[in-house]
A and B are shown apart, each in its own frame.
Chain A
Amino acid sequence: MSDLWLGWPTQLTIFAVALAVGIMVDRSTSNRASAVASALGVLVLTQALAFVPLDTLFFDGDLGRTIRGATNDFVRFLVVNYGDFFDAISEPVLRTLVTLERTLRDAPVPLVLFAVGALAYLASRRLAMAAGMVVALYFIGTLGLWEQAMQTVSIMLVSVGISIILGIPVGVLNARSNTARKIINPVLDLMQTIPSFVYLIPALMLFGLGNVSAVLATVIYATPPLIRLTDLGIRYVDAEVVEASRAFGATRRQMLTGVQIPLALPSIMQGINQTVMMALAMVVIGSMIGARGVGQTVLIGLQRNDAGQGLIGGIAIVMLAIVFDRISQAAGARAQKHRQVAH
């Protein structure tokens, strides 16, 4: 490694990072004192790390190797000491996944087609749309990918379910507390921008190869829009309506369940729709870490240099996307009714 990356430039870089963090905090809080404090915090933290006997010291070693070593040590530490804990997390997810997958695969195909048609009709109240969804799904079967599609659907449903369970409460929290929002928003940015493989590597070590890691990757990638849109939806609920409920003595809970969430529902539904779409985008990546389903079809096409197989896998994914999107959009549109404040 060239000397260019070692010594005092490293220190300077750390200082610049500290400054950048300070400026970021300053922008979000418009509070000089806390900005300076965070900058100092970063500096002190890095200096303190430098004294911890890791593989290399900052001062004459290189920063990249330090981080790498520390991360690997940490993951190994987790695997060794908290393996049971991670098993305990993955176990119920896996069980749900397996049950769902088995149910979908064992169910007679006409029943599944009928169920999807019924769901589409309930969401849209339009027969034509229901019929269209049934046709799209049947088409996947004609491609010979029915079983794979059912596997993908079950991973999707579980991932989206977890995203909803996590995303809506966090979105509510963000809407209510500016502090929470300031902390969580950068995390969401990170979740959406950091390449999936970066967190898939430790995830594989912790959860093993297969569906659970795929679910985790999907949840990390697909939850942020739901959080953001829940937050936005609740913040944009007409202030006078919320004030009215307060004036009538509603508790915070009554306000949330009776006014804020119902009125934010169109936005929340939009968030769920986004989550579903982003979850589908993760199907192929999921297959790379051992998740089964349509993604695997595409992956095999890639590995065997079989463009045709890649295409039919792609078509199946698009068909699934259409079905999921139309149904959730229609449900969202129906939620929109009577939600706008009249003046």
Chain B
Amino acid sequence: MSLIEVKNVTKIFGPNPKAALQRYRDGLSKEELLAETGHTLGLADVSLSIGKGQIFVIMGLSGSGKSTLIRHFNRLIDPTDGQILVDGDDVIKMSIRQLERFRRTKMSMVFQRFGLMPHRTVLQNVAYGLKVRGVGRAEREAKAMEWIERVGLSGYDGQYPTQLSGGMQQRVGLARALATDAEILLMDEAFSALDPLIRSQMQDQLIELQSELGKTIVFITHDLDEALRIGDQIAILKDGRLSQVGTPPEILLNPADDYVTEFVRDVNRARVLTVETVMRPPKTRLTGADIDKALGEMRRTNADWGYVVEDGRYLGVATQESLAAAVSANDGRNLYEVAEDGPTVSAADALEAALPAALETDYPLPVVDKEGLLMGVVSGREMSSALTPPKVASAAAAEPGGSAGRAGGAAPASTAGKTAATAESPAAAHRETAKLDG
């Protein structure tokens, strides 16, 4: 079920956005709009659906409109056009009073540069949302105290923000947002101002808190690694337009366009992709204790390797040779005893962790779950192909291809080729002449 529904939100900045909106609807591009009307297209028909309990990451470079977009959710910015539904309520239609109530109870926000009030202590800052709501002093301070402890700032409640480090200040920001018990947490580049070590600690803390509290978190970042690390869903924004929405593996494995491809190229894929994304069903499952039957099965499917399974539980691997040898030895061992133990991986393992084992064995690695059930197999080759970044159709290659395609539509390809040849020949002739003259 989606909690936040964004429908065709368009934002145009400038003195007369409504008129500019009409021009944009008439087909003007962002650049044309700026050149002709002096209006900036901030967001262009963005539609999103954010599910309850998700960490939804909106990613884009600076100027992509991500901060503008997140400010539409609690209407710190009014859209020029479009609809935003939160839990079925239309945020755009709310009166000022309704909006204030909505901001107090439904959504809270964490800011890039923390947005703490320097004249208030940590305790007063954390209690701010409750104070605005009109909660009594004792109650709000008790509650604020709880959250201060929860984010690991016990003992700092009497300090002023200036006395804390950046990481600690952002913990205060987080505690302030959590203290209102709002269902939705908006985080605007919340960790971008922190140094890498603190940032990853904060990411861990956020994931931990989210799994405990089940909040819906909308997280803005310009850092793809961060997006992939914490996001359940990632939306990629470029120039105010949505490029792609998907889970981290979807984004990595099937980038929608060149922009996303370019983006995901430098990601450490081995760390982000899990075995699950490349796993496939085993070709040969050997069940039952009978070796002859198993050998027959393997010959029939022409498989070199079989995965021995008892009650769905993985026991080991067997080769045609090992089975044939066991049959000819006829020492009374059954299939379960013949199966050779080997390395296994679990579906949640990152490829980084699974790869060494896959390189050691010459058969696809079995993937087993916690109970030891065989889920599937994964081969080294499949892993390495998943790890290869998709190629960007480079601009130089794409452009002539495109124009050739268009030219081809107008005239037969051979003609186009001939034209090119004749176009070239005078130059060649000229060169010949030059040579003769020289």
Contact = CB atoms under 8 A, between A and B. Distances in A.
Interface string A238-250: 1011011111111
B76 A246 contact: yes
B115 A241 contact: yes
A243 B74 CA distance: 11
Contact of B113 (A250, A338, A343): A343
Contact of A247 (B103, B164, B169): B103
A244 B119 contact: no
A245 B117 contact: yes
A342 B128 contact: no
A172 B133 CA distance: 24
B102 interface: yes
Interface string B115-155: 11111000000001101110000000000000000000000
B162 interface: yes
B111 A240 contact: yes
A241 B115 CA distance: 4
A263 B101 contact: no
A342 B161 contact: yes
A259 B114 CA distance: 15
A240 B129 contact: no
B118 A249 contact: no
B104 A248 contact: yes
B100 interface: yes
Contacts, number: 83
A243 B115 contact: yes
Contacts of B105: 249
Contacts of A258: 117, 131-132
Given A244-B109, A248-B108, A338 B162 contact: yes
Nearest to A240: B115
A341 interface: yes
B274 interface: no
A244 B131 CA distance: 14
Contact of A249 (B103, B166, B169, B193): B103
Interface in B417-436: none
A249 B117 contact: no
A340 B162 contact: yes
Contacts of B100: 249-251
Interface in A206-257: 238, 240-241, 243-251, 254
Given A244-B109, A247-B76, A338 B119 contact: yes
- 10 shortest interchain CB distances as A-B pairs: A244-B115, A249-B104, A249-B103, A342-B162, A247-B109, A240-B115, A248-B129, A249-B100, A338-B160, A250-B132
Interface of B: 74, 76, 99-105, 107-109, 111-119, 128-129, 131-133, 160-162, 164, 166, 169, 176, 180, 186, 193
Interface of A: 238, 240-241, 243-251, 254, 258-259, 262-263, 338-343
12 contacts: A240-B113, A241-B115, A241-B117, A245-B132, A247-B74, A248-B176, A248-B180, A249-B102, A338-B118, A338-B162, A339-B119, A343-B113
